[in-house]
Amino acid sequence: MSRELRYERLIQASPARVFDLFTSPAGQRQFYGKDEPGWVVDSRCEPRVGGAWEITFGPSPGELYRHRHLFEAIERPRRLLLATTETRPDGSRLAFSTEFMFDPRDGATLMTMAQWGFPSDELRDEHGRGVPHAFDRLERPWRPEEGHRMTKSVLYMSMSLDGFITGPDDGPGNGLGNGGHRLHEWLGEPVSERPYFDPPGLSGQVFAELMATRAVVVGRKTFDYAGHWGGDHHGVPIFVPTRGTPPEPQSGWVHYVPDAATAMHEARAAAGDADVMVHGAGLAQSLLREGLLDELEIHLIPVVLGDGRRLFGAHRIELELTRVLDAPHVTHMRYRVAS
């Protein structure tokens, strides 16, 4: 191998989660991005051998680099081999090979990037200078700040035995769908003051954990159907991924952001060392695909609804059951996302 560039980083997540985040648009925005106003990253991917993965990035639309990778090998979740062509802002091009490895290490991942075939030592060294920063950004979802616990993103969701989180015909003014209120009877009758509910026993413990979260990330449809919670969930910032022009925020708590990855990044920053609450089926599926959801707290209700909105889609996700709390009218099941 000529003029090889090699870099390794131990990341505290499984190879499957690191692989899936890295190959997602959100992961590429992290890897190729910078914390600078106006920085551009656009990723388009056809994940098959012979397919193209094209990333455009740079400080402004008028000063862009373009990487066009052709997939030579895809071995999820362990390896990617790419033939890379880089087009620079001045129009010049160079070609080299790129390999990413994702090796398991005691519950973590040793991620290795190797590149070879650079036409000069200077170009190899230029590429090498930006690599540690790229890995820093990619690692952020799993790296706690020094002296703090790791912030977790947790989906809290009541679900029927047949997998529905609402009854049929949910929509604005009918956010839980027809008959969907059955899924939330475990909360008990509303009380007049915040936190609005006061369930007894083990359900009270779970509800207190939910109310201890210090930021909320919620899907736009869920947020709209719930009447925007009146602009306040439980006195914490609310981040809503939104395509297109966002509406006027309903309160100072509400922040409309362009995508799920941005919402999670800003929610983690707002939450400090507390957890982030996630709400919404479509959002949860997106976060699972992008490796940005850490845990699920499922309130399993002993009822078969037969119809409604399902929590899970077709994407396969491995989960590890970490806690079961059997309370009256509900079983609270805590899962950690394994891959």
pLDDT score for 142: 67
Q: At residue 194, does pLDDT exceed 70? A: no
Same domain, 131 and 159: no
pLDDT score for 179: 92
Domain assignment of residue 148, yes or no = no
Same domain, 135 and 164: no
Same domain, 119 and 65: yes
Domain assignment of residue 190, yes or no = yes
Looking at per-residue pLDDT, the higher value among 214 and 195 belongs to 214
Number of structural domains the chain divides into? 2
Report the share of the chain in percent with pLDDT over 70.
95
Order of all β-strands in the sheet with 108-116: 5-11, 108-116, 93-105, 79-87, 63-75, 52-60, 40-45
Q: At residue 147, does pLDDT exceed 60? A: no
Contact by Cβ (8 Å): 231, 250: yes
Same domain, 100 and 228: no
Q: At residue 66, does pLDDT exceed 90? A: yes
Q: At residue 193, does pLDDT exceed 70? A: no
Average the pLDDT over 82-109 and give the result.
93
Domain assignment of residue 66, yes or no = yes
Alpha helices in the chain (DSSP H): 15-22, 25-32, 121-139, 201-211, 220-225, 260-271, 281-289
Could you tell me the CATH number of the domain that includes residue 76?
3.30.530.20
Same domain, 256 and 124: no
Same domain, 160 and 307: yes
Same domain, 195 and 109: no
pLDDT score for 144: 57
Same domain, 287 and 171: yes
pLDDT score for 252: 85
What is the model's pTM?
Answer: 0.59
172 token code pair: 């604005």
Of 90, 108, 142, the last residue of a domain is 142
Contact by Cβ (8 Å): 312, 289: no
Domain assignment of residue 297, yes or no = yes
Same domain, 104 and 231: no
Of 142, 166, 190, the last residue of a domain is 142
pLDDT band at residue 141 under the 50/70/90 scheme: low
Same domain, 138 and 168: no
Strands in 161-270 per DSSP E: 215-218, 238-241, 254-257
Q: At residue 48, does pLDDT exceed 60? A: yes
Of 87, 121, 142, the last residue of a domain is 142
Beta-carbon contacts of 33 under 8 Å, excluding residues fewer than 6 positions away, are 39, 41, 57, 137
Same domain, 72 and 10: yes
- Sign of the C-alpha dihedral, residues 240, 212, 149, 294? negative
Average the pLDDT over 135-151 and give the result.
68
pLDDT digits (tens, 9 = 90+) for 272-319: 778 999 999 999 998 988 888 999 999 999 999 999 999 988 778 889
Rounded (10°) angle between helices 25-32 and 121-139: 120
- Do the bridges between strand 108-116 and strand 5-11 make them parallel or antiparallel, or are there none, so unpaired? antiparallel
Could you tell me the CATH number of the domain that includes residue 329?
3.40.430.10
Domain assignment of residue 74, yes or no = yes
pLDDT score for 84: 96
Domain assignment of residue 303, yes or no = yes
In whole angstroms, how far apart are CA 224 and each of 154, 170, 197? Answer: 21, 11, 22
pLDDT score for 195: 62
pLDDT score for 320: 93
Same domain, 67 and 176: no
pLDDT band at residue 264 under the 50/70/90 scheme: confident
Mean pLDDT of the chain: 87
Domain assignment of residue 147, yes or no = no
Residue type, 161: L
Range of the domain at 272: 153-337
- Quick one: residue 287, left, alpha or beta (phi over 0 = left, psi -120 to 50 = alpha)? alpha
Q: How far apart are CA 271 and CA 191, in angstroms?
A: 26
Domain assignment of residue 251, yes or no = yes
